[in-house]
Amino acid sequence: MNIFIESAKQQGFSMPLHALRGIAALIVLLCHIQARIDEGFPQFTFTHIFNGSAAVTFFFVLSGLVVGASLAKNGVNFHSTLVYTHRRVFRIMPLMLVTVTLGGLYLLYLDPHLAFSLNPKSYGDFSLAKFVAGYVGYSLKANPPTWSIFVELVASALIPLMILSGKNIRLMALTLVACIALSLLPFEFQHYWNFYMISFYLGLSVLWWGKPVALATQQLPTSIFWLLIGGIFTAFYLVRLMSGAGYGDVWIVYCESILVALMIAVIYYSPARFTFLAKPVFKFLGDISYSLYLTHSLLLILLLNASIYLLGASTAGALVFVASSIVMSLAIATLSYREIELKGMQLGEEIRKQKLAVEKLS
């Protein structure tokens, strides 16, 4: 018996976690808007309150649970892994191809002529090789948020092996030790992807320990329950902001991943407590979360340049930039979700069905 496979079969789609994915993507957007304000309107600089880094850690832990559970429900064998890989490619890559292509063309032909750059470090340092590497997120120059998609791709390749560790507690412990050892290797891997494999594994491990933890919290009085959830969320959200930890600090990854895994476990196994997250606005944000995450960077730099060109570094310019950034980011993400994400996944399913039909005929 595999613990992860048996547990995954008992659980379905979680609307509260879907909603939180959307909220996390919105936090990343607001974090990047504030960074652009710092750049273009320095007179309005104020303390950063939007923790985009914590939101990305949330994505990783959540992916470990959701993506892992999706594969585990069908068991891990050659056929199920092929289907899983096919679906992951068509889930992730269509939007990556579009956004990296647009970002790369922008860097090559428009960015050098504008006051504010999509990626200042790209001046004189954007080559064809880095353009191509951007399509898997290895280079983030054409679309900065794609660094996390590179980490997702690496984790997606390892998740089947992580699930196989669920055969017994000893294997699970060894896999956890392996994730920790990987994070401590004295090499600087691209985007520190080795730090984050423990985030995915902790997310997957919720299938083992999450239900007992959630059941224990359900016994608490309502006020104590929400105080506990609020405390976990506050610690998770503020630890990086208050400590000043950066991407090269592995300890912050451990800290954030453990805290967010606890929060996700309670939400996943206690959905009745979080029905407010099933409202249409939260479902909408969850639906467009991936598109919002990948499409906003190029849009923000275009709007920043346009706002300052038309209104200068004034209060009016800042207000127009913020308002237009939020409205247009949501609009573009909605369009992207419908026309690229959904159609990309539909195309993938059609190709897979056609291949199956051909195999049956042969």
CA atoms lying within 13 Å on the CB side of residue 167:
8
Residues 302 and 305: their CA atoms lie apart, in Å, by 5
Please answer whether residues 128 and 100 qualify as being in contact, where contact means their C-beta atoms are separated by less than 8 angstroms. no
Q: What's the DSSP call for residue 278?
A: G
Structure tokens at 198: 């423990």
What is this structure's pTM? Answer: 0.95
For the residues 31-47, what does the mean pLDDT come to? 90
What's the pLDDT tens digit per position in 40-95?
999 887 778 899 999 999 999 999 999 999 999 989 999 999 999 999 999 999 99
Four-point Cα dihedral 14, 89, 300, 305, nearest 10? -170
DSSP string, 72-136: HTT-SSHHHHHHHHHHHHHHHHHHHHHHHHHHHHHHHHTGGGSSS-SSGGGTT---HHHHHHGGG
Measured CA distances, 57 to 153, 159, 262, 327 (Å): 15, 16, 13, 25
Q: Report CA Rg, the chain.
A: 21
Residue with tokens 């209060």: 315
What's the pLDDT tens digit per position in 307-331?
999 999 999 999 999 999 999 999 9
Residues 92 and 156: their CA atoms lie apart, in Å, by 11
What's the pLDDT tens digit per position in 184-231?
999 999 999 999 999 999 999 999 999 999 999 999 999 999 999 999
**What is the largest distance, in Å, between two alpha-carbon atoms of the chain?**
69
Please answer whether residues 152 and 199 qualify as being in contact, where contact means their C-beta atoms are separated by less than 8 angstroms. no
H/E element, 298: helix 280-311
Residues 18 and 284: their CA atoms lie apart, in Å, by 10
Angle between helices 15-40 and 52-72 (to 10 degrees): 150
